[in-house]
Amino acid sequence: MDKDTAEKLYEVFYMKVFSYVMTLTRDKDDAMEITQEAFFRAIKTDQAFRGESESYTWLCAIAKNIFIDETRRRKRFTEEPEEDIPDVRKDIEGRLTDKESSLKIHQILHSLEEPYKEVFQLRVFGELSFKEIGAIFGKTETWARVTYHRARLKITERMEEHEI
């Protein structure tokens, strides 16, 4: 990949990929590291990009794999599981009114099974389209829509159980 193409790729997609990685890591420094590494790998190994997906989707898939590898590596070296600190900066579907309810909603989201949890986070926090989410998972846009809808139903049901 030539220098101009690499620079354009970086300029156009850096913030979108960074936002996606933030939904995974919930840590700015980790997200920056993973995003940088994703672009480095993409630029270094552009032959692997077959053009079967959008550049953004390809970069997100690289970033997701780096995140998974890093998570596995950290698990091997830590005795105690890391405590998830809920991100209270985002308004989930306009229903967050105070810190206590925000914490409860994030706890519900944290306990949500995959792929519902990740699809919901990608849509709400990462602000990705259903087409982009489907491509990240290697599925269709319809699959992403249905999975997101089911995630919302599960969250709503659990919120009603906890009277949030």
DSSP per-residue letters across the chain: --HHHHHHHHHHHHHHHHHHHHHHH--HHHHHHHHHHHHHHHHHTGGG--SSS-HHHHHHHHHHHHHHHHHHHHHHH-SSPPPP----SS-STT---SHHHHHHHHHHHHHSPTTHHHHHHHHHTS---HHHHHHHHTS-HHHHHHHHHHHHHHHHHHHHHTT-
Section 125-139 average pLDDT: 87
Tell me, yes or no, if the two domains 3-77 and 99-161 fold the same way: no
| Residue 5 burial (C-beta neighbours within 10 Å; 0-12, 13-18, 19+) | exposed
Higher pLDDT, 73 or 77: 73
User: Which CATH architecture does the domain made up of 3-77 adopt?
Assistant: Orthogonal Bundle (1.10)
CATH class of residue range 99-161:
mainly alpha
Question: Per the structure block, which two tokens stand in for 146?
Answer: 């249905």
Sign of CA dihedral 133, 139, 142, 143: negative
**Rounded to 5 degrees, what are φ and ψ at 140?**
-90, 165
pLDDT of residue 63: 92
Section 3-31 average pLDDT: 88
pLDDT of residue 87: 46
Model confidence at 1, in pLDDT bands (50, 70, 90)?
low
Domain residues of the chain, as ranges?
A: 3-77, 99-161
pLDDT of residue 47: 53
